[in-house]
Amino acid sequence: MSAAQWRKAMNFSATSRHWAGGRVVPPPAGRAATPASTPPAINGQRLWRHIGARHVVVLAAVLLYPWIVPPFFTFQIGGQALALGLIALSLTFLAGYGGMLSLAQMTVAGIAGYVVAILGESGTPQISLGWPWWLVVLFAIAAGTASATFIGWLSVRTEGIYTIMITLAIGVAFFYLAQQNYEIFNGFQGFQKVVPPVVLGVDWRSPVPYYYLVLFWALCGYFFVKYLIRAPFGVALQGVRDNARRMSALGFSPVAHRVAAYAVAGVIASIGGVLLVWYNGLISPGSVGTGWLINILIIAVLGGLRHPVGPFIGAVVFVLLQNFAIDLVDRERFNLVIGLIFLVIVLFSPDGLLGWWAWLRERAGRRLARSAVGGKDWRSVGVQQARPAGRS
Amino acid sequence: MMRRWSWAWLIAVPLLALAAWGIADNARLFFATLLNGLTLAALYFLVASGFTLVFGLLRNVNLAHGSIYLIGAYVGWVVGDYTSSWFLAVAAGFLFAALLGLVLQIGVFRFMPGQDLRQTMATIALSIVAADVALWIWGGEIYQFDPPGWIIGAMPLPIVGKFPTYRLVLLATAIVIGFGLWWFLVRTRVGMMIRAGVDDRAMLSASGVDVQKLFAITFAIGAGLAGFAGVVGGTALSIAPGEDTRYLLASLVVVIVGGMGSVTGAALGAVLVGVAEQFGMAYAPTYGIMFTFVIMALVLAFRPQGILGRRT
């Protein structure tokens, strides 16, 4: 064992948790300095105390939203943003709390979407089996989760920067498979006319029901992730992210936690994938191409990986840009705009829009110690996030 | 040592059996596929060697590598079209891509040392921008190079019959470049510094080497190789939007299989992936990509650091 490795393994000084990219960041002031490993006591009374005015306002806003705006905004903006946000949420969970930047989350969602099209009904009856919708959805989520677990099992064998390469390679390989294979995936064309079922007399394809359906699952995903990151599993996962060696010395299995995190993220991404295929009404290799793999990353990073609300903010911004950037720039130059925005975010605000928000609050909040934000530093995301139940 | 490789028989025996069946069934198809696979491997090696070189020293997973390939090819095409000299096109592809790599390293990545995740995301952003700019300038058409006549004919070979001369030239070029790279890394002073940097950057820097300059040189060579491969590969196939993703995937899989940071590993990985892809295309057309993927999954399962990779 070399001296450097030894130091790394015996990384015991208190401030070392804040080691970030070659320079020492002072420990965050005040409440943020409480140890990361204290599991918060979540009981009913406490839970209610955490609901502030802004939560009520946001909830009311998203519930009333379809009654205020025209159907285009309900479906194309609201519905799509929430479905994409749900997929990006799975990436936020993996990257923000597990430290694994997976580019294959759209592949997982796409596998779930393909299963919906293959087992359910589509415009290609030669392939589609036409099973009842509930069975199809169950199978889709099971298949998505299983593939996510497999992807996780493959990629956690290596660490850090390798993850992004391996998941990208898997994602692109699936894209080429879907494009070349006509027996199962129907090749280049994919499947059209994949529509949500009519259940309880409601057509879930029409804007308002679809919006509420997606909203329900988005809220489920959001609160599930919020719960999970405070649960023992989530706390252990953050421990693995911050220092896998130390966690394994404490008797936790980093590999098991990481694979489990992939599985959990797979469930979320699969639900998002089913909803997205119902939104689009079709699935084709283009839906799981490199462009979309990266778009999910952009959405998650744009919003910020600090908090599970980030992907939804990112998705709203992304969808708005997608729909209205055409008015600002040339018709076909959307990718240029989104690429440049992503570059600016990566270069200047690694915490995304949430980072800017925190920075603004910081500026406004008198001369609170500037170091408490750490918004300028990518790696300190973890440290901030590990804060126990204090502010939600 | 023997026990470590004993499991290799589990793979080698079925493979040899399959190969024997392939030769007995249709020797011409088998050897033509093998030769095609080797020429594809040559191309993959040219692209992936730059990628792995940059990773080994800079720890920078340059996901814009495919874009550099494509832009090098486009620039080479423009120069070739203007001067009607294929050799100038190759040189232009190499030089422009090298310049691009230099600008990227000096202008962007130097400002985020040690933050490999951020660097990688920056390369993703740059690849989106580059792909769109290329689409803007050159449109969606398919471009083809116009190499000199003696290169594009067919050459009679035993068993296989006629085989495109250009692919053999490509194979020879890759072998020459491979040996050149090996010579550069093993015999020259800069190469020694690069190898030292791969092993321990901090120590190299402490012994008085201007690491930033070394990084810039390495990045320029890596990117230049991608641009070179762009023109050379674009001549064998063609250049069109979307090729960037294809060669990025190829480089990724090649270096994952061969081992990150190892040029020999890149050669080995390229041969495995290229041959597997061609055999997949010839014998199981719609599942061709699965062969590549299965190789990658097997390597990751049993040797996560790649066949010739070292644990870091």
Domains and CATH numbers, chain A: 67-348 (1.10.3470)
| A41 reaches B (C-beta below 8 A) | no
The parts of chain B modelled with pLDDT lower than 50 are: 1
Q: In this complex, which of B114, B126, B286 lies closest to A180 when CB atoms are compared?
A: B286
Encoded tokens for B206: 């402490």
Question: Cβ A158–B304 below 8 Å, yes or no?
Answer: yes
Percent of chain A at pLDDT above 70?
A: 78
pLDDT at B95: 92
pLDDT for A34 beyond 60: no
B300 and A101 in contact by Cβ < 8 A?
Answer: no
Contact A157, B300 (CB under 8 A): yes
Let me know if residue B307 belongs to a domain. no
Tokens of residue B230, six digits: 């762009």
Return the residue of B nearest to A182 by Cα. B286
> Pick from B187, B214, B182: which is nearest to B201 by CA?
B214
Whole-angstrom CA distances from B247 to A227, A329, B259 are 41, 30, 17
Q: Residues A150, A173: contact at Cβ < 8 Å?
A: no
Q: Do the strands A198-199 and A23-24 form a parallel or antiparallel pair, or are they unpaired?
A: unpaired
Residues contacting A12, CB < 8 A, separation 6+: none
Name the one residue in this structure whose structure tokens are 């002073």. Answer: B189
Give the minimum alpha-carbon distance from B188 to chain A in angstroms, rounded to a whole number. Answer: 29
- pLDDT at res. B6: 66
Cβ(B37)–Cβ(B277) below 8 Å: yes
Q: How far is residue B45's CA from residue A47's CA, in Å, rounded to a whole number?
A: 57
**Which chain A residue shows the shortest CA-CA distance from B116?**
A161
pLDDT at residue number A327:
72
In a domain, B57, yes or no: yes
Amino acid letter at A380? S
The residue range of the domain holding B169 is 30-241
Chain A contact present for B249, CB below 8 A? yes
Instruction: Return d(Cα B87, Cα B164) in angstroms, integer.
Output: 19
Residue with tokens 């699965």: B290
Q: Which segments of A34-113 are extended strands (E)?
A: none
Minimal CA–CA distance to B178: which of B44, B271, B45? B45
The pair phi, psi for residue A32, each rounded to 5°, is: -65, -15
**Residue B126 contacts A, CB cutoff 8 Å:** yes
A181 touches chain B (CB under 8 A): yes
**Coil vs helix vs strand at A102:** coil
The answer to whether residue B62 sits within a structural domain is yes
Residue B154 dihedral angles phi and psi, to the nearest 5°: -115, 150
Contact A325, A337 (CB under 8 A): yes
Angle at B268 between CA B263 and CA B272, to 5 degrees: 145
Give me B278's structure tokens. Answer: 């061609």
Rounded to an integer, what distance in angstroms lies between the CA atom of residue B79 and that of residue A87?
A: 44
d(CA A273, CA A86): 9
For every residue of B247-296, DSSP letters joined together read HHHHHHHHHHHH-TT-HHHHHHHHHHHHHHHHHHHHHSGGGHHHHHHHHH
Instruction: Evaluate whether residue B258 is within a structural domain.
Output: no
Split into its structural domains, chain B has a count of 1
B59 interface with A at CB cutoff 8 Å: yes
Task: Report the pLDDT averaged over residues A35-52.
Answer: 53
Q: Does B117 touch chain A (CB under 8 A)?
A: yes
Domain presence at residue B297:
no
For residue B203, the chain A residues in CB contact (below 8 A) are none
- Across the interface, of B115, B132, B133, the residue whose CB is closest to A378 is B115
CA A76-A310-A238 angle, to 5 degrees, is 140
Residue among B115, B260, B289 whose CB faces A21 most closely = B115
pLDDT tens column, B161-213: 777 888 888 888 889 988 998 888 888 888 888 888 877 778 888 888 888 88
A5 touches chain B (CB under 8 A): no
Best interface-test mutation with B: which of A94, A346, A377, A381 has the largest number of B CBs within 10 A? A346
Query: Given A169, A181, A336, which is nearest B249 (Cβ)?
Result: A169
Distance from C-alpha of A218 to C-alpha of A87, rounded to nearest angstrom: 9
The beta-carbon neighbor of B287 closest among A158, A164, A181 is A181
Question: Is the model more confident about A86 or about B118?
Answer: A86
- What is the pLDDT, as a whole number, of residue A46? 58
By Cβ distance, the residue of A333, A343, A350 closest to B125 is A343
Residues of A in contact with B256 (CB under 8 A): 162, 165-166, 169
Sign of dihedral through CA atoms A258, A263, A267, A270? positive
Burial of B189 (0-12, 13-18, 19+ CB in 10 A): exposed
* CB distance B291 to B37 below 8 Å: no
pLDDT average, residue stretch A147-172: 83
Could you tell me if B56 and B260 are in contact, meaning their C-beta atoms sit under 8 angstroms apart?
A: yes
What's the mean pLDDT in A231-251? 86
Distance CA B111, CA A347 (A): 9
Give the nearest partner residue to B131 out of A169, A170, A335, using CB atoms: A335
> Is A339 close to B129, i.e. CB distance below 8 A?
yes
- Looking at residue A266, what is its pLDDT? 92
Q: Is A54 exposed, middle or buried, given 0-12, 13-18 or 19+ CB atoms closer than 10 A?
A: exposed
Among chain A residues, the shortest Cα distance to B301 is held by A154
- H helices of A122-243, in order, are 133-155, 161-180, 207-228, 232-242
CA nearest neighbour of B248 among B144, B150, B126, B141 = B126
What is the pTM for the complete model shown?
0.78
Contact A161 B305 (CB under 8 A): no
- Indicate whether B292 belongs to any domain: no
CA dihedral (A358, A364, A365, A370) in degrees, to 10, reads 60
pLDDT beyond 90 at A146: yes
Q: Can you tell me which residue has the tokens 């779930």? A: A112
Looking at residue A367, its pLDDT comes to 55
Residue A242 near residue A107, CB atoms below 8 Å: no
Taking the C-alpha atoms of residue A234 and residue A238, their distance in angstroms, rounded to an integer, is 6
DSSP alpha helices (H): ranges in chain B? 2-6, 8-25, 27-58, 65-83, 86-107, 116-138, 149-152, 165-187, 189-199, 201-206, 211-236, 243-258, 263-283, 288-302
pLDDT in tens, A259-316: 999 999 999 999 999 989 888 888 888 888 888 888 898 888 888 888 888 888 888 8
Asked if residue B277 belongs to a domain, the reply is no
List the beta bridge partners of residue A199: A202
**Neighbour count for residue A381 (Cβ, 10 Å):** 26
Tell whether B121 lies on the interface with A, counting CB pairs under 8 A.
yes
pLDDT in tens, A319-378: 888 887 777 766 677 778 888 888 888 888 777 777 777 778 777 775 555 455 444 444
Best interface-test mutation with A: which of B117, B243, B244, B291 has the largest number of A CBs within 10 A?
B117
**What is Dmax (Cα atoms) for chain B?**
61
Give just the sign of the alpha carbon dihedral B111, B115, B117, B118: negative
Query: Is residue B222 included in any domain, yes or no?
Result: yes
The predicted pLDDT at position A27 comes to 40
